[in-house]
Amino acid sequence: MDFRRTSVVEIARAVRAGEISARELASHALERIATLNPTLGAFVAVDGERALEQAAAVDQFVANGGDPGPLAGVPLGVKDNEDTAGYRTTHGSAVLEDSPVAVADSAHVARLRAAGCVVVGKTNLPELAWSAHTTNDLFGPTANPWNLLHGAGGSSGGSAAALAAGMVPLATGSDGGGSIRIPSACCGLSGVKPSLGRVPGGGPQGPGWLDFSTKGPMARRMADIIAALDVVVGPEPTDLRSLPRPEADWRAVLNDPHVPVRVAWAPTLGYAEVDAQVLACCERALGVLESLGAEIVEVDPVFARDPIGDWLTVVGACLLRSLDPHRSHRSWDRVDPVLAAIAERARTTSAREMVAAFDECHRMNLELVELFHDARLLLTPTTAGVAPPLELGGAGLVNGEVRLDWVAFTYPFNMTRSPAATVCAGLSDAGLPVGIQLIGPQHADLVVLRSAAALEEAIGFDQLAPIGE
Catalytic residue IDs: 79, 155, 179
Residue 398's DSSP bridge partners are 401
Distances (CA, A) of 50 to 17, 84, 282, 426: 24, 12, 43, 38
Interatomic CA distance for residues 412 and 364, integer angstroms: 8
- Element holding 44 (H helix, E strand): strand 43-46
Asked if residue 83 lies in contact with residue 104, where contact means CB atoms within 8 angstroms, the answer is: yes
> Is residue 301 reached through a cis peptide bond, with omega within 30 degrees of 0 on the bond before it?
yes
Asked if residue 289 lies in contact with residue 376, where contact means CB atoms within 8 angstroms, the answer is: no
Task: Give strand ranges (E) for 59-190.
Answer: 75-79, 118-123, 143-144, 147-151, 170-175
Residue 434's DSSP bridge partners are 426
Sign of the C-alpha dihedral, residues 21, 7, 196, 161?
Answer: positive
As a residue count, the chain comes to: 469
What contacts 45, CB < 8 A, 6 or more positions away? 80, 87, 88, 121, 122
Which of the 8 DSSP states describes residue 218? E
Interatomic CA distance for residues 400 and 431, integer angstroms: 16
Q: Within 13 Å and on the Cβ side, how many CA atoms surround 4?
A: 22
State CA 241 to chain mean position distance. 19
The dihedrals phi and psi of 358, each to the nearest 5 degrees, come to -70, -30
Specify whether the backbone of 378 is left (phi greater than 0), alpha (psi in -120 to 50) or beta.
beta
Asked if residue 254 lies in contact with residue 451, where contact means CB atoms within 8 angstroms, the answer is: no
